Amino acid sequence: MRQIKFRVWDKTEDKFIPLKDYHLATIRFDGLPQFFTCDNVLIYGKVWPEHLVLQQFTGLKDKNSIEVYEGDVVELCFCNTPDYKNKTLIEWSDYHNGWAITQLGVPLDSIFRSYRLSLPFITYNSIRVIGNIFENPELLN
């Protein structure tokens, strides 16, 4: 069973904040998460604060055993061209119906822009987390 985990970026503090004092109770029908404190007090159940960005763990790890979250920028090395490395972004894809790896710097209409992120894909090819969209926005250029 895949572990459901989150990390939270606080836009006002410009840093990730720990969720260790909370646990996820459920995802509501409208997609909003409901968190409870250790004392079972409901927080963030009605409206998720706009200054907090919730990012989900993909369930996968990179070649250095670093957990891969949505919003991470990873270096992708295809097995058939090991000297070619490309910066890619981890994001949810409705088209792929799952986590996808989107190549940065590739035209939006290219059929090679996005790949479904899966265990066979990262086993066959190599990915390495090099940053994320908040702490390293320069990687998106």
Q: pLDDT tens digits, residue range 63-86? A: 899 999 999 999 887 766 667 778
Using DSSP, state whether 19 is helix, strand or coil: coil
Domain segments of the chain: what residues?
6-54, 57-140
132 vs 59: which has the higher pLDDT: 132
Q: How far apart are CA 138 and CA 96, in angstroms?
A: 27
CATH class (in words) of the domain with range 57-140: mainly beta
Q: How far apart are CA 90 and CA 106, in angstroms?
A: 15
Which pTM does this prediction carry? 0.76
| b/e map 62-82, b = 16+ CB within 10 Å | beeeeebbbbbbbbbbeeeee
Sheet holding 114-116: strands in order across? 114-116, 98-103, 85-93, 72-77, 126-132
User: pLDDT tens across 30-57, in order?
Assistant: 666 666 555 555 555 545 667 878 898 9
